[in-house]
Structure 1
Amino acid sequence: MPLTFVLDPAMTPVVRDGVLDLWTDVSNADGAVGFVPPVTREVVRPELVRHLAAMSEGRTRLLLGYDTEGRVAASAFLSMNTHRLMTHWLWLYTVMVHPRHQGKGYGRDLLAAAADAARGFEGIEAIRLTCRGGLGLEHFYGSCGYKEVGRVPGAIRVAPGDDRDDITMMLPLG
């Protein structure tokens, strides 16, 4: 069954906790979403609070995917670019599909829903995202239409002696 996507869902405690659980579970499954496992909800919570603050200020939008049981199964944050010369594109952050749902095409569905949402924002012509090298993520994003437009070698330190490239990808929406 496909996911049901909702842009800017009401931020109820159930939704907030669903995103927190998703982020924690994805992180603990070695997902490249800003943490290195093992993590707890308490470790992830401050980063979620920062995202929620950006949402309350209107700088960030949340796209959620719900499974057939109504649980948060996927998410992505769409962050408006505040630089006055770059407001024609936005950032896609923290793209996640719950480990129990991976391999079902939901990642592609999430990226397509994010692109559809971005097309609905006035003046947005492209989406940019970054991903951690060494995991093949750039190949996945490439298969979804994103093009690699930059790479900073060794910019992400996962652990001492384990530096990864920070890869910038872009999807034109035209």
Structure 2
Amino acid sequence: MPLTYTVNPALTPALRDGVLDLWTDVSNAGGAVGFVPPVTREQVRPELVRHLAQMAEGRTRLVVGHDEAGEVAATAFLTHNTHRLMTHWLWLYTVMVHPRHQGKGYGRDLLAAAADAARGLDGIEAIRLTCRGGLGLERFYGSCGYKEVGRVPAAIRVAPDDDRDDVTMLLPLG
């Protein structure tokens, strides 16, 4: 059964805790969402609070997918650019699908929901994201219409002697 996607849902304690649990579970499963496993909820919480503060300021929108049980199963954050010359595109951050739901096409659905949300915003022409090299994420995003537009070799250090490229990808919305 497909996930149900909502843009900017009411921020309830259940939603906040669901996103925190998702982020922790995805990180501990090896997902490239800003952490290296093992990670605890307490380590993830400050990053979530930062995203939530940006939502409260109106700079960030949350796209959340709920499964048939009503659990948070997927998220992505769309963040407006603050630079006055770059307000025509958004950043896409923290794209996550719970490990128990991966391989079902929900990642593609999440990216489509994020693109639809971005298309609904005045003046937005593209979505930009960065991803960690070495995990096949460039191929996944490429299959969803994103194009690689930049790469910084060895910019992400996940462990001693384990540096990954920081890959920038762009999805034109026109």
TM-score by length of 2: 0.99
Q: CA deviation at 1:27?
A: 0.1
Query: What is the 5 A alignment of 1:1-174?
Result: 1-174=1-174
* Structure 1: distance between partners of 2:98 and 2:50: 21
How many equivalent pairs are there? 174
* Structure 1: distance between partners of 2:109 and 2:165: 26
Question: RMSD of the TM alignment (CA)?
Answer: 0.4
Amino acid across the alignment from 1:116: D
Q: CA deviation at 1:22?
A: 0.2
Amino acid across the alignment from 2:102: Q
* Structure 1: distance between partners of 2:97 and 2:136: 16
Q: CA deviation at 1:26?
A: 0.1
1:106-138 Cα offsets, whole Å, 9 max, x none, are: 000000000000000000000000000000100
Q: Give 5+ residue unaligned stretches, structure 2.
A: none
Q: Secondary structure at the match of 1:63?
A: strand
Identity in percent: 84
Q: CA deviation at 1:98?
A: 0.2
* Structure 2: distance between partners of 1:55 and 1:144: 26
Q: Secondary structure at the match of 1:11?
A: coil
1:1-60 Cα offsets, whole Å, 9 max, x none, are: 111000001110000000000000000000000000000100000000000011111111
Q: Give 5+ residue unaligned stretches, structure 1.
A: none
Structure 1's consecutive aligned runs of 4 or more residues displaced over 4 angstroms after TM superposition are none
